[in-house]
Amino acid sequence: MVDLGNSGNRALTSDFDDYYHHRFAGYDDVVGVEEMCAMLGGISRKSCYKLLHSKAVGNFKLGKDYKIPKINIISYLQRVVNA
């Protein structure tokens, strides 16, 4: 793991707050596949399911439906952007 120092941690926290409170404010705290596709820029359902099956984005199932906490989508975006 890379040590980002204090300034890096503030940047990640700031990015998280921006995503959570501004960019994705209109979404519930737990979303479904369609909402996740939209949050990730309109990716296909097939691409979304690949991310879910590979556990790249943390999720759980409720009956037959995948449920994805918004925080997990934001964490995934941060990992991808900072990779």
Which domains occur in the chain, in start order? Answer: 28-83 (1.10.10)
pTM assigned to the model: 0.80
SS3 content of the chain, % helix, strand, coil (to 5): 55, 10, 30
CA 53/CA 77 separation, integer angstroms: 17
Provide the residue-wise pLDDT of the chain in tens; the chain has 83 residues: 333 444 445 555 677 888 888 889 999 999 999 999 999 999 999 999 999 999 999 999 999 999 999 999 999 999 998 87
What tokens appear for 30 in the block? 């737990």
pLDDT at residue 61, as a whole number? 97
Q: What is the dihedral of CA 18, 23, 24, 25, to 10 degrees?
A: 80
pLDDT at residue 56, as a whole number? 97
The angle formed by the CA atoms of residues 56, 58 and 70, to the nearest 5 degrees, is: 115
